[in-house]
């Protein structure tokens, strides 16, 4: 059971918009700790996608955006493409556990 | 170009030991904290351990505290993870990841990852 809760799977057709939620609590996201998002393409290592809740590293398309409110964060992907099919993970810090914590991951399927 | 190359994984019996290495290049190694993150087969990511750029501060997940030791040799641009008293539940791909700060802060961003090395604990 992950400290940060993500839906196991989401799907969308090419060109559509999907969102992936990351729900935490008052000891992590709700305490004001930043949320980062990682993309893991099949058979590869994770890659930083969004940092500091809503910032994109150089090279990440602006189709990817992040937001945070209260005890939750969200990753939105617009103009869905086949190459976006991957697992997506959120990460934050938990002050009760004193650990860096990841969500359980969400598998995105492009129909 | 930042490169992280893990090595040292393999098959080990329960109770055994293994030492992982991560050779870094493409950035000033001593200026950045580093982490180990693992992924059990078919499962999600789990943070394991982190170390500051100087090596003076180390952090561990409860699941490995007392069994694993993280260290670094800044003269060799190499990160290590000494794993003792290994259990079946330690079976995973172990990734080393660069942290975007010299110290390990709550907002730690893992901005670059290696390709991982597989550790299998089985008799």
Beta bridge partners of A69: A72
Mean pLDDT over A28-38 rounds to: 96
* pLDDT, position A3: 92
- pLDDT of B102 higher than 90: no
Q: Which residue has the tokens 């305490």?
A: A31
Quick: pLDDT tens for B11-59.
999 999 999 999 999 999 999 999 999 999 999 999 999 999 999 999 9
Least confident of A45-49, B78-82, B107-111: B107-111
| Residue B73 near residue B80, CB atoms below 8 Å | yes
Distance from C-alpha of A5 to C-alpha of B25, rounded to nearest angstrom = 35
Given CB atoms, is A25 within the 8 Å cutoff of chain B? no
Given CB atoms, is A43 within the 8 Å cutoff of chain B? no
Q: Which residue has the tokens 């860096």?
A: A100
In terms of Cα–Cα distance, which of A89, A71, A81 is closest to A109? A81
- For testing contact with chain A, the best of B110, B111, B112, B115 (most A CBs within 10 A): B110
Is residue A29 classed as helix, strand or coil in its secondary structure?
A: helix
Given CB atoms, is A93 within the 8 Å cutoff of chain B? yes
Would you give the DSSP letter of residue A8?
Answer: S
Among candidates B47, B62, B114 on the partner chain, residue whose Cβ is nearest the Cβ of A45: B114
φ, ψ of residue A52 in degrees (nearest 5): 55, 40
Closest chain B CA to residue A28: B106
Chain B residue numbers touching A44 (CB-CB < 8 A): 115
- H or E element that contains A41: none
């Amino acid at each position: 059971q992950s400290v940060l809760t993500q839906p196991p799977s989401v799907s969308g057709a090419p060109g559509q918009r999907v969102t992936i939620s990351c729900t935490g609590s008052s000891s992590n996201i709700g305490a004001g700790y930043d949320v980062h998002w990682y993309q893991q393409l099949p058979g590869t290592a994770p890659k930083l996608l969004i940092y500091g809740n809503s910032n994109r590293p150089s090279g990440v398309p602006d189709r990817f955006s992040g937001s945070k409110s209260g005890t939750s964060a969200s990753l939105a992907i617009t103009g869905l493409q086949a190459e976006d099919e991957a697992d997506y993970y959120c990460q934050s810090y938990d002050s009760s556990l004193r650990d860096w914590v990841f969500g359980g991951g969400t598998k995105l399927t492009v129909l | 170009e930042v490169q992280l190359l893990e090595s040292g994984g393999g098959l080990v019996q329960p109770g055994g030991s293994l030492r992982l290495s991560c050779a870094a290049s493409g950035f000033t190694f001593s200026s950045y904290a580093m982490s180990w993150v693992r992924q059990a087969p078919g499962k999600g990511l789990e943070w394991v351990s982190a170390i500051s750029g100087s090596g003076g501060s180390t952090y561990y997940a409860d699941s490995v505290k007392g069994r694993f030791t993280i260290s670094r040799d800044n003269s060799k641009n190499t990160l290590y993870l000494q794993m003792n008293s290994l259990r079946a539940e330690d079976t995973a791909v172990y990734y080393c990841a660069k942290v975007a700060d010299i110290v390990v802060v709550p907002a730690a961003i893992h901005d670059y990852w290696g390709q991982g090395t597989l550790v299998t604990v089985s008799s």
